[in-house]
């Protein structure tokens, strides 16, 4: 530990990591207490909303010089996924630091690191006396890892959120393994979870009756799996950037039957589907409906998750995105925005018509989100704060005439953003 013993940035990060805000049944009180303390130290106002009981949303605000302009939201979630402690080299909530600077803890990547990077960037900027035009809100939300139903979903749809007058949001992506690249996303796929149930007449296992549940379910599984095979072909042949740009289907559960020599009354198959943004969602739905009709009588389906399609954030010509991209580029880092293969809280913000970009400013790091031995090196954490400082300054000042590093003076279009 020695080397970082007196490093406040590291110690604050470790303090946050040590709070076991892990599913299930999280008590968020210690997170709220910790964040209130941070706001107090920074001399910034903090508001704690509770849109559902025991599900606090913490918002720390750094007011800009022109508070009427649309603001910037830096969002992170406070919750982390469960651990299999026996597979960890160091206890997952001890935030142990190795001799070579690796902090081992659940949340070092997903995403307490990002939440603290947001805060430390603002802290550094404030201490340096930086001036920002737009107000910056730093939010900490609950329950992202269990679908955000009582977290960002309620917050983003609230009057309180509207009053924050947000013009641009930053949320999580994931660390990049390369030394000079960031993952960034401007859109997400749509989650759908469907269970198809096929009913047939029971009978003896030695007959060759028609209209059996088995025949129907075979037809259904074949349709879903053929679609899946098509997508697999595409990912092999087309120049697409990862899973985010194709539709994935996985058969995840099979149920039914009572005994091996009895024709089952019903058999069901459940599928986890993630629809790519370019796919016509209504047509996709109709296609499934048609398959079920074709499979025969007594075939029904039920959606367990049926998320609405959320339009991608427009990045071309968006001055906030341009400011973000230019900042990253000036640092010699590559950032190509693509579609997020998973789901994040940014979808609820996009649903409100607010552009959102997922970016975790951490590189040179193996992707260990939700994995054993999730860890982050202190050097990369600090480099993340360096980058975020510049990003915050750039996006919070969009609309200001300034000189770039080459010496010319481009006008960042302010208009009515
Ligand atoms: Zn996350």
pLDDT tens-place string over residues 198-253: 999 988 989 998 999 999 999 999 999 999 999 998 888 766 667 788 999 999 99
pLDDT band of residue 404 (cuts 50, 70, 90) is: very low
Q: Check pLDDT > 50 for residue 183.
A: yes
Q: Check pLDDT > 80 for residue 320.
A: yes
Residue linked to tokens 């796929």: 189
Among 7, 36, 6, 2, CA closest to 19? 36
Q: Check pLDDT > 90 for residue 377.
A: yes
Both 113 and 165 in one domain: the answer is yes
Both 342 and 258 in one domain: the answer is no
Q: How far apart are the CA of 285 and the centre of ligand 1, in A?
A: 28
Residue ending a domain, choose from 252, 286, 306: 306
Both 270 and 334 in one domain: the answer is no
Q: Provide the CATH number for the domain around residue 212.
A: 3.30.70.360
Q: How far apart are the CA of 371 and the centre of ligand 1, in A?
A: 12
Tally the domains of the chain: 2
Both 166 and 259 in one domain: the answer is no
Q: What is the pLDDT of residue 401?
A: 52
Q: Provide the CATH number for the domain around residue 384.
A: 3.40.630.10
Both 183 and 212 in one domain: the answer is no
Domain containing 259: what range? 190-276+278-306
Q: How far apart are the CA of 174 and the centre of ligand 1, in A?
A: 8
Q: In the chain, what percentage of residues exceed pLDDT 70? A: 94
Q: How far apart are the CA of 12 and the centre of ligand 1, in A?
A: 20
Both 81 and 119 in one domain: the answer is yes
Q: Give this prediction's pTM.
A: 0.88
**pLDDT tens-digit readout, 97-128:** 999 999 999 999 999 999 999 999 999 999 99
Q: How far apart are the CA of 408 and the centre of ligand 1, in A?
A: 39
Neighbours of 349 (CB within 10 A): 25
Q: What is the pLDDT of residue 390?
A: 98
> In this structure, what is the dihedral angle of CA atoms 18, 24, 30, 31, given to the nearest 10 degrees?
80
Q: In the chain, what percentage of residues exceed pLDDT 90? A: 88
Q: How far apart are the CA of 172 and the centre of ligand 1, in A?
A: 6
Q: What is the pLDDT of residue 241?
A: 67
Q: Check pLDDT > 60 for residue 130.
A: yes
Active site residue 144: yes
- Among residues 120, 143, 144, 172, the one annotated as catalytic is 144
Q: How far apart are the CA of 239 and the centre of ligand 1, in A?
A: 27
pLDDT band of residue 415 (cuts 50, 70, 90) is: very low
Both 165 and 299 in one domain: the answer is no
Q: How far apart are the CA of 398 and the centre of ligand 1, in A?
A: 27
Both 8 and 43 in one domain: the answer is yes
The CA-CA-CA angle for residues 266, 271, 276, to 5°, reads 150
Both 216 and 240 in one domain: the answer is yes
> Backbone phi, then psi, for 303, in 5-degree steps?
-95, 130
* Positive or negative: CA dihedral 243, 249, 253, 259: negative
Q: What is the pLDDT of residue 411?
A: 39
Among 181, 172, 194, 175, CA closest to 347? 172
Average model confidence (pLDDT) across the chain:
93
Both 147 and 20 in one domain: the answer is yes
Q: How many CA atoms lie within 13 A of 199 on its CB side?
A: 5
Both 202 and 300 in one domain: the answer is yes
- Among residues 79, 110, 188, 345, the one annotated as catalytic is 79
End-to-end CA distance of the chain: 46
Active site residue 79: yes
Q: How far apart are the CA of 346 and the centre of ligand 1, in A?
A: 11
Q: What is the pLDDT of residue 414?
A: 39
Both 21 and 101 in one domain: the answer is yes
Q: Check pLDDT > 60 for residue 406.
A: no
Residue linked to tokens 């589907």: 273
Q: Check pLDDT > 80 for residue 413.
A: no
Q: Are 316 and 357 in contact (CB under 8 A)?
A: no
Q: How far apart are the CA of 361 and the centre of ligand 1, in A?
A: 14
Q: Walk across the sheet containing 136-141 and list its strands.
A: 46-50, 56-62, 136-141, 71-77, 166-171, 356-359, 181-188, 334-340
Q: Check pLDDT > 60 for residue 303.
A: yes
């Amino acid at each position: 530990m020695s080397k970082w013993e007196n490093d406040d940035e590291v110690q604050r990060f470790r303090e946050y990591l040590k709070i076991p805000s892990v599913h299930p049944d999280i008590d968020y009180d210690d997170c709220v207490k910790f964040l209130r303390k941070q706001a107090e130290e920074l001399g910034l106002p903090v508001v704690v909303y509770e849109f559902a009981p025991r599900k606090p949303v913490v918002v720390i605000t750094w007011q800009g010089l022109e508070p009427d302009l649309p603001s910037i939201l830096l969002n992170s979630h406070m919750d982390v996924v469960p651990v299999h402690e026996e597979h960890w080299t160091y206890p997952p909530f001890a935030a142990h630091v190795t001799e070579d600077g690796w902090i081992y803890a659940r949340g070092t990547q997903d995403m307490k690191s990002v939440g603290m990077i947001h805060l430390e960037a603002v802290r550094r900027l404030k201490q340096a006396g930086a001036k920002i035009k737009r107000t910056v809100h730093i939010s900490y939300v609950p329950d992202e890892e269990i679908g955000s139903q009582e977290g960002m979903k309620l917050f983003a749809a609230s009057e309180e959120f509207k009053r924050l007058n947000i013009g641009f949001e930053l949320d999580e992506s994931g660390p990049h393994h390369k030394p000079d690249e960031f993952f960034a996303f401007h859109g997400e796929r749509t989650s759908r979870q469907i269970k198809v149930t096929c009913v047939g007449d029971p009978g003896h296992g030695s007959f060759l009756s028609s209209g059996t549940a088995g025949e129907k379910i075979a037809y259904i599984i074949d349709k879903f799996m053929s679609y899946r095979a098509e997508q697999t072909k595409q990912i092999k042949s087309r120049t697409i950037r990862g899973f985010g740009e194709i539709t994935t289907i996985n058969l995840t559960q099979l149920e039914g039957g009572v005994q091996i020599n009895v024709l089952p009354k019903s058999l069901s198959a459940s599928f986890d589907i993630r629809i790519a943004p370019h796919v016509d969602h209504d047509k996709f739905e109709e296609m499934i409906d048609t398959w079920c009709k074709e499979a025969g009588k007594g075939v029904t389906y039920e959606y367990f998750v049926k998320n609405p399609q959320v339009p991608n954030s427009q990045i071309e010509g968006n001055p906030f995105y341009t400011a973000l991209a230019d900042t990253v580029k000036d640092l010699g880092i590559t950032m190509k925005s693509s579609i997020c293969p998973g789901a994040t809280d940014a979808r609820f913000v996009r649903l409100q018509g607010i552009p959102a970009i997922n970016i975790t400013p951490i590189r040179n790091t193996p992707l260990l989100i939700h994995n054993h031995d999730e860890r982050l090196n202190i050097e990369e954490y600090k480099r993340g704060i360096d980058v975020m400082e510049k990003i915050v300054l750039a996006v919070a000042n969009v609309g200001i005439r300034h000189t770039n590093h080459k010496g010319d003076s481009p006008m960042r279009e302010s208009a009515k953003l």
